[in-house]
Structure 1
Amino acid sequence: MSFPHETQVLVIGAGPVGLAAAIALYQLNIKVTIVDGSSALHKGARASIVHSRTLEVLETLNLAKPVIDKGTPADHFTMRGKTEELLTVDFSLLKQDTQFPFSLLISQELIEKIFVEEFEKLGGTVHLNKKVISIQPIDNSDNVTVFFEDGTSIITSYIVGADGIHSIVRTTAGISFTDPFTGKQYDDPKGSYELIVVLSDLFLEEPLPEKISRNALTIHLDKFLLLLPLRSADEGNGPFWRIGINFPNGADVPKNPSKELQKLINERNPWPTPITISSIISASRYRVRVAQADKYHSTIGNTNILLAGDAAHIHSPTGGQGMNLGICDAIAAAQAIHAHIHSDSPKPERDEIFAAYSTNRHIIGRRVIGTTKGLTTVINSNRGWRRLIRNAVFFVLDRFSFAKRAFVWRVSGLVNRDV
């Protein structure tokens, strides 16, 4: 399909967030174009869990089943200190609350592949190699012209900015990006990192330690080691593992994690049975700061823009919240645009639709950031008196059903139904 001269809605960013927005808009019979600056489907170790609330939202697009069919439903995950079990997070406690009482283990790469296939089935096209260089208002118009590095351009009436941490949409609109709890700017050179982690996708040799689950997430907290089984996006490659290794601020993090990964695993493996790498698919280090856009809706000229996903918020990956939050943003943004287009109300009242989107998603985003900050504190509390307090908190959570259920309610995202 040739690149159009104009579109009703332009989605910038073709990760799972942008794709979810494009699919939702297409299903609502809105003319949508989606672009991405990259040349191919994103690869590498990134998001890997889809929670209950996200599956409920995907169900409204008939996307829950295709996603579930390609993933591994896990009704629990286990947190351990060294080898001792501290807490089992039991999603089966949600059986009376949702048709999806589990977390789904599935790689972001596979999610994107499913979403691209679904979008193409609808008749859409993902336009790659479309790096945005500027967004210019058109005088006396509700439209803008978006210019790309390849010399092309497109006119649009609405923009969904799903273009990541360094969002040109957010920057052009002049929206600030700060930690909602400390007020620090994301790009403050004096700002500290919330989490420093090496993430790797790899194949492991059998046998593995008996207590490492083959169908659920296992986290060892004392010397942080995360092991999560996943399915490959490439048919025939079989199951692989995502491994996460956390480093404290100031630690010497390897510049080339692949070369030192086996050594790092050996140092952190608490079991007598070795965890041996067969082959490495990818290995990257991530330094994560916290930030949230101060609003998720603004205008460039007279054109409405909505932010979703990492363009609106970035935070620690603990709890597997980022992609989930972004997908829910995206579908809510599409619904808001649909309502705005079809509203017969005067402009000030119509624009309240976007104000509500911004307010509600900001509340949810701040809540999720608070949750991830708490979970990150748990991860970093692995020595001395902090470790004792951590273990005491888990002792209470594990023995009081109401506390355990409240924790699962929050991690699953179902807590966000009320906003």
Structure 2
Amino acid sequence: MKIVIAPDSFKGSLTAMEAATAIDRGVKNAYPLANTSLIPMADGGEGTLETLVDATDGFTKQVQVKGPIGDKVEATYGILGDNKTCIIEMASASGIVLVPEGKLNPLITTTFGTGELIRHALDEGYRTFILAIGGSATNDGGAGMLQALGLHLLDEKGQSVGFGGGSLRDIHRIDAKGFDERIKESSFLIASDVENPLIGPNGASHVFGPQKGASQEDVALLDSQLTHWADKVEETTGIQIHDKPGAGAAGGIGGAFQAFFPSRVERGIDVVINYTKLKENLVEADLVLTGEGQVDSQTASGKTPMGVAQTAQNLGVPTIVMAGSIGPGIELLYQFGIVSAHSIVNSPMKLETAIKEASFLLEKSTEQVVRSYFHNHVPQLQGGSV
């Protein structure tokens, strides 16, 4: 029996590798002779850097940059095993996890630190980039990132405007003369499953602003600010990003990449599937076990369990999902080859307890699921090699 174990992280409790290890223990508790392959996954958000660096035997570099609210933070970027490709995880420099509780405010949060990471990597000689842009705390249209790379955003007096989505309205002119020339020599693969436009009811501010601390009044203001920003970008570049699919990703940084960088966009999960060689590992597999902290209708939008299941389904391999919690709409997932989804919470408990005991709960739940799924294989598995 061959079982491929390919979970995402259980945010707040387990990294993808820790989750994979717990699932593996559960499988081996049930059938010690099972052949397992552990392939930690990610979908373009937090954990993507670690997953790709580990999968390719790469390494990481630490850099001090400006955090989303202006303080200094220690950020990390990775170099893949080819020693040529740089992976930058936006959340490391401009992520929502870096903002203390009660201080989320997309009117002032900036992507400047993400630009500093890119600049540092350029200084180190790297010209091939993967940008994982999930988990941001920002809604500045990528303006801060561009400022860090030498783009001047000037007000009516010719002075540089401030940081954050609330300052975009002050931009009177974009001066691209100082924009880092090395950008043109580079390639940027944007790992994102977000297809939202920059502005409007489905845009960055309306859809993602509230989770970054925006009130309803803030949302309307931010959408107006991004509209002004898009107008100025079009004046400067001739590129219209207002309604471009994916321009609304990560508070609008997706639009900045489309307008100012030689870039292309791929689903985050597809990027990870490619670099981890998941498809190759699925050959002759009997089952895939995947999972993440929350599984619901949103999982079908390109999250790890769906991407893993789609890849497995194309090879005729069934997928079972293990989850911290299961929300409404999981019926959508069955068409992608997911056989069933299981919550690891086995009794009434507080959230803090579930987080603390996540590894144990995942192990024990996996054991029961695998025992049930392979009950007809018990004599074979207990008798010899498989």
**Given the two structures, how large is their TM-score scaled by the length of structure 2?**
0.25
**Given the two structures, how large is their TM-score scaled by the length of structure 1?**
0.24
Q: Which has the higher strand share?
A: 1
Q: Which has the higher helix share?
A: 2
Higher relative contact order (CA 8 A, sep 6+): 1
